[in-house]
């Protein structure tokens, strides 16, 4: 309920082509203690005044020249759309057809001329209380919507953080540093952006791509960390990391997880169909999978590992050129070569420190003696 103080501070706008009616209503309201009352005899200025004054209640005459009360209510309906239109109609015609038309146009109540002071004040108070209740509910709903948005963003941030950390976890079990997934995912985002993908799409690729090798969590250490070349049996087991990754990411239909699942499934497929595990060819491979395949190979080639030195960038690019139309989609190769300055900037920003490589070597040495691995 409105307090008396707040009630008397309500903004009331009177629109009537008869100045005497405006004066009478102003006197009634002012004597009752209302402090924010504005009257207008020129109906053509009603909408402009409404927008400027932002009244809590409009006392509106129906029969006026140029722009009558029905025209004004129609304009207010367009202006307020789904909001509550605070219109109290003033009319000397107490006929059902007039009332029905006014209610359909948006009127909330009526005052019949000549005015009864008690009725005027009661109806105005009632309408102001309804208007205030409507505003309270609308503000509450807006607050709830904002809280839902905040919670949704928090959940999305949490989901993204889990994705990122799972990707890092997979890399820590492998013979690569955690910075690999950061670099590769940023390369993928840059490539998708240069390709013309929307902002939301290339940002999603950056968030989802660290999960490309999450299935390696399910590969035995004796294979995953083997310093030497894998034999055919071991390689068959290693290739199962793709399906294991898809399985880890199953049963969730969020856009982020769907994309991560698609990347995990396709990042070892090759443009010419010689990849694994399905031997997909060309555009049967998802765009995201094609993008990550190229970026993953480039970073792997140009990064130091405990078991190898980084390739010079130009040698890595020459291999990528050689694999154009074979391992990699030709269009993506051309675009990737055009954005090499941006790629190298990311590579420098997230380079592996000597400490990263030392920890990596220590980890491998602590788990396996190369002489004991067949």
Residue 367 has pLDDT above 50, yes or no: no
pLDDT, tens only, 294-334: 999 999 999 877 667 889 999 999 999 999 999 999 999 99
Is the pLDDT at 129 greater than 90? The verdict is: no
| Contacts of residue 22, Cβ cutoff 8 Å, sequence gap at least 6 | 14, 16, 39, 40, 41
Please determine, for residue 210, whether its predicted confidence score (pLDDT) is greater than 70: yes
Q: Is the pLDDT of residue 177 over 60?
A: no
Which CATH architecture fits 174-372?
Answer: Orthogonal Bundle (1.10)
Weakest-pLDDT range from 37-51, 80-94, 224-238, 269-283: 80-94
pLDDT band at 374 (very low <50, low <70, confident <90, very high): very low
Q: How confident is the model at residue 372 (pLDDT cuts 50, 70, 90)?
A: very low
Question: Could you tell me the pLDDT band of residue 180, with boundaries at 50, 70 and 90?
Answer: confident
Per residue in 70-91, pLDDT tens?
899 888 888 887 667 789 888 8
pTM for the full predicted model: 0.58
What are the sequence ranges of the domains in the chain? 4-145, 174-372
Residue 353 pLDDT greater than 90, yes or no:
no
114: preceding bond cis by omega (within 30 degrees): yes
pLDDT digits (tens, 9 = 90+) for 10-19: 999 999 999 9
Average pLDDT of the residues in 29-37: 92
Residue 310 near residue 304, CB atoms below 8 Å: yes
Backbone angles phi, psi at 40, to 5 degrees: -145, 125
pLDDT exceeds 90 at position 335: yes
Say if residues 69 and 110 touch (Cβ distance below 8 Å): no
pLDDT at 331: 97
Residue 179 has pLDDT above 70, yes or no: yes
**Model confidence at 55, in pLDDT bands (50, 70, 90)?**
very high
- Mean pLDDT for 3-28 is 90
Please give the CATH number for the structural domain made up of 4-145: 3.40.50.2300
Question: Who has greater pLDDT, 352 or 190?
Answer: 190
Give Cα separations from 259 to 14, 196, 209, 252, 318 (angstroms).
59, 18, 8, 11, 30
Give the pLDDT band of residue 361 (cuts 50, 70, 90). Answer: low
Interval 143-150 mean pLDDT: 86
Q: Residue 302: which residues within 8 A CB-CB, separation 6 or more? A: 310, 311, 312, 313, 316, 347
pLDDT at 26 over 80: yes
């Amino acid at each position: 309920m409105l307090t008396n103080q707040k009630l008397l501070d309500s903004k009331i706008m009177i629109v009537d082509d008869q100045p005497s009616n405006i004066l009478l209503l102003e006197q009634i309201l002012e004597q009752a203690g209302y402090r924010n009352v504005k009257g207008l005899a020129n109906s053509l200025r009603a909408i402009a005044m409404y927008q400027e004054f932002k009244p809590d209640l409009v006392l509106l005459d129906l029969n006026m020249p140029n722009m009558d009360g029905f025209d004004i209510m129609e304009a207010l309906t367009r202006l307020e759309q789904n909001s509550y239109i605070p219109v109290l109609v003033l009319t000397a015609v107490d006929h059902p057809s007039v009332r029905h038309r006014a209610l359909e146009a948006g009127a909330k109540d009526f005052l019949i001329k000549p005015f009864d002071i008690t009725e005027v004040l009661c109806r105005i108070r009632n309408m102001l209380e309804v208007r205030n209740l409507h505003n309270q509910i609308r503000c509450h709903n807006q607050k709830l919507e904002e809280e839902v948005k905040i919670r949704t963003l928090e959940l999305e941030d949490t989901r993204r953080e889990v994705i990122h950390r799972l990707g890092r976890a997979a890399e820590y079990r492998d013979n690569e540093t955690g910075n690999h997934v950061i670099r590769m995912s940023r390369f993928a985002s840059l490539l998708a952006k240069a390709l013309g993908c929307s902002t939301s799409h290339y940002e999603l690729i950056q968030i989802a791509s660290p999960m490309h090798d999450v299935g390696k969590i399910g590969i035995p250490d004796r294979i995953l960390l083997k310093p030497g070349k894998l034999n055919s049996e071991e390689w068959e087991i290693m290739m199962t990391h793709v399906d294991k990754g898809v399985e880890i990411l199953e049963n969730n239909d969020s856009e982020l997880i769907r994309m991560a699942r698609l990347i995990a499934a396709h990042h070892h497929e090759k443009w010419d169909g010689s990849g694994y595990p399905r031997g997909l060819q060309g555009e049967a491979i998802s765009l995201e999978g094609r993008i990550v395949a190229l970026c993953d190979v480039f970073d792997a080639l140009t990064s130091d590992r405990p078991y190898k030195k980084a390739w010079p960038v130009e040698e890595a690019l020459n291999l990528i050129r050689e694999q154009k139309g074979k391992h990699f989609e030709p269009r993506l190769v051309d675009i990737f070569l055009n954005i090499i300055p941006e790629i190298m900037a990311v590579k420098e920003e997230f380079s592996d420190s000597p400490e990263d490589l030392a920890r990596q070597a220590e980890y491998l040495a602590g788990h396996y003696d190369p002489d004991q691995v067949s």
